[in-house]
Structure 1
Amino acid sequence: MPLTHLPLPQVRDFAILSGLEAGVRGMLLSVMPLVIYRSYPDAALVSWIYLGVGIVSLLFGLLVPSLAARWSRRWMYTLGTGFYLLGIALALTGVPVLTALALGTLSLATVTCAVCLNAYVLDYVGRTSLGRSESMRLLFSAPSWVIGPITGVWLLNWWAPAPFIAAGVFALCQVTIFWRLRLGNGKMIVRARSQAPSLSPISAGSCNSRG
């Protein structure tokens, strides 16, 4: 039976993943500030909440590469999409404390997915194709960034859970496509375990005599 190899992920595959994640983020970009402000009708307090979430996300983003090396990158990316789903579920409760926690969870999801996806792109996309990769990622993400914020606010005014449900569908599609691509843990460069063969004294002597 002939051996078959799984096809390597292409530039288009990473663009699709970026587009699906942009669907989650674009939908909630304008929704979460409104939800937070409705839970905490104090502009100063909302600013402090966003500042705290930003600091925590920054610190967690610095830890993502080491966590991915310890727990494997595919599970870290899956954890990132899980953060999206958890944040959406917390926001749906409508409880003020859980709403603030949802904002933090969604921020952790964004940082985790971004770091892992960029690492995958560097693994599988050649240097000569990086420009085309970024262009295609922007092309697939642009509709979500243009339409998502307006659609999110419209859905929120129509039915409060609607934008979160739509974002949850994008997140589920994102993790499904990721596992179908079978990206694994990326390409690892390891040090050779065996040393290069050295010349024996006899061989070295014969080489010197020839010289």
Structure 2
Amino acid sequence: MPTDIPSDTGPMWLRAVSRPGAIVFAIMFTLESFARGLIATLIPLQAYSLLHHTRDVSILYTLVGIVGLASSFAIPFFIRRFKRRWVYTAGILALLVAALLLATATLYGQIGAMLARAFGAAALNITLSLYVMDYIRRRDLVRSEPLRLMFSAAAWTVGPALGVWLYTDVGHGVAEFLSAGSCAVLLVYFWYLRMSENPAVAAATRPPPNPIASIRRFIAQPRLRLGWFVPFARSCWWAMYFVYPPLFLVQAGKGDFAGALLVSLGNAMLFVTPLYGRMAQRTGIRRWIIVGFIGLGILTTAAGFMHGFPWIAAALLLAGSAFCCLLDAFGNIPYMRAVRPLERPQMTTVFRTYIDLSDLAPQAFYSVLLTFFDIRAVFFACGLFMFVAAVVAMKIPKKM
């Protein structure tokens, strides 16, 4: 594979962090995660303080999700026109701008920050996935994906709680500027690596990508459909967890930091993902994906029943995050093993829509629910969907 990265000379640790591979991609994902994690809980809490109603927050997330979904399909055009490295760079800069806009603490700044963050996340997710599939062999994904998540665990554990603490106790704008600083470090590190593209993948971007044709091609492949649904369902739970438990604890009088701490502790479960990887190497990923969804269904539904006991409900949701991290470890692997190399840019664009749709579709549904019911309806609806996902996951091939 052609590359102009540094040669093999030098200490082993230096080669590990300067040559594209599992560790390098884990570092890149960690820097991105820290930038996003610092403001992840700030976004819904600040939106709530500006809009004063949980339903209106859901509507705002829905509208941003629509724009984010549309922007995802523009990524292949940008890759073809400007090449992958420039699209990845644009994604970093979009996250940086999002942090600065959020620091304005205005409604227009809030909307602009959410839109920039949606585009940045789409650009980084698609391009990084393509780099991973270029440099990591299929049979090694069951080890590299948990490693990537374990590296990012510190960022997602510290980030949400640290961001809210800085916001409330140190000063407005500090967390946002720290997030922007993480983006700057990622930008410098990425250009130091000077990664090249797989010639087969680069060739696949020569014809103008047609979004409709890509969707049809994706839907026509059952394994890709299944590979899309598993991370979609998992991402629906995380989208709920980042928004509604913090709002629930604020409404229960527990304060902003309690919700941020709950989000941080949930992400701390990512530290055990390498253990999940070792389990899957012996038994395969199918059974663990099913177990993950069943666990989420039970605990999230139970949290709805414990609405009158906020700390118990929070503990149940926190326990659910352990099962969701189990799904994080393996959720993308069915797709990565199924997609054909020459179709990766177009198919990965379609695959990545699970992130936007997991923000869009549930938020739209929750907006309707919250018009008639309180926040416990969100927990009930999300829990029931996890049971549906467990049934669908049974279609994963037993040999996987």
Question: What's the TM-score once normalised by structure 1's chain length?
Answer: 0.82
Aligned with 2:136 (options 96, 114, 125): 125
Please list the CA deviations of residues 150-196 of structure 1 after superposition, one character each: whole Å capped at 9, or x if unmatched: 11111110211111111111111111111111014x112249xxxxx
Alpha-carbon distance between aligned partners in 1 of 2:116 and 2:74, rounded to the nearest angstrom: 15
Aligned with 1:174 (options 162, 172, 186): 186
Q: Does residue 45 of structure 2 align to residue 40 of structure 1?
A: no
Aligned match of 2:195: 183
Question: How far does residue 95 in structure 1 lie from its aligned partner after superposition?
Answer: 2.4
Alpha-carbon distance between aligned partners in 1 of 2:142 and 2:190, rounded to the nearest angstrom: 22
Aligned match of 2:172: 160
| Count of residues in Structure 1 that have an aligned counterpart in Structure 2 | 187
Question: How far does residue 91 in structure 1 lie from its aligned partner after superposition?
Answer: 1.3
Residue range with higher mean Cα deviation, 21-30 or 58-67: 58-67
Aligned with 2:77 (options 63, 66, 75): 66
Per the alignment, in what secondary structure is the counterpart of residue 74 of structure 2?
helix
Aligned with 2:115 (options 104, 109, 118): 104
Per the alignment, in what secondary structure is the counterpart of residue 20 of structure 2?
coil
Aligned-residue Cα RMSD (Å) equals 1.8
Per the alignment, in what secondary structure is the counterpart of residue 172 of structure 2?
coil
Question: How far does residue 5 in structure 1 lie from its aligned partner after superposition?
Answer: 6.6
Please list the CA deviations of residues 104-137 of structure 1 after superposition, one character each: whole Å capped at 9, or x if unmatched: 1111111110110000111111223222210210
Within 5 Å, which residues of 2 pair with 1:18-57? 18-57=29-68
CA change 1:106–1:5 in 2 (3 A) is closer
Alpha-carbon distance between aligned partners in 2 of 1:5 and 1:22, rounded to the nearest angstrom: 24
Structure 1 gaps, min length 5: 192-211
Q: Amino acid of the residue matched to residue 11 of structure 1?
A: A
Aligned with 2:24 (options 13, 37, 41): 13
Alpha-carbon distance between aligned partners in 2 of 1:111 and 1:31, rounded to the nearest angstrom: 20
Aligned match of 1:89: 100
Aligned match of 1:143: 154
Aligned match of 2:332: none
Question: How far does residue 81 in structure 1 lie from its aligned partner after superposition?
Answer: 0.5
Question: How far does residue 6 in structure 1 lie from its aligned partner after superposition?
Answer: 3.2
Residue range with higher mean Cα deviation, 52-61 or 77-86: 52-61
Per the alignment, in what secondary structure is the counterpart of residue 89 of structure 1?
helix
* 8 Å CA contact 2:97, 2:180 repeated in 1: no
Residue range with higher mean Cα deviation, 39-48 or 167-176: 39-48
Q: Amino acid of the residue matched to residue 177 of structure 1?
A: Y
CA change 1:103–1:13 in 2 (3 A) is same
Per the alignment, in what secondary structure is the counterpart of residue 199 of structure 2?
coil
Residue range with higher mean Cα deviation, 74-83 or 31-40: 31-40
Aligned match of 1:204: none
Please list the CA deviations of residues 18-41 of structure 1 after superposition, one character each: whole Å capped at 9, or x if unmatched: 111110121111111112222222
Aligned with 1:79 (options 90, 115, 120): 90
| Structure 1 residue runs of 4 or more that deviate by more than 6 Å after TM superposition | none
Residue range with higher mean Cα deviation, 110-119 or 58-67: 58-67
Please list the CA deviations of residues 22-75 of structure 1 after superposition, one character each: whole Å capped at 9, or x if unmatched: 101211111111122222223332221100111111121122123212211100
Larger Rg: 1
Alpha-carbon distance between aligned partners in 1 of 2:82 and 2:63, rounded to the nearest angstrom: 27
Structure 2 gaps, min length 5: 8-18, 205-400
Aligned match of 2:345: none
Alpha-carbon distance between aligned partners in 1 of 2:32 and 2:78, rounded to the nearest angstrom: 21
CA change 1:5–1:150 in 2 (3 A) is closer
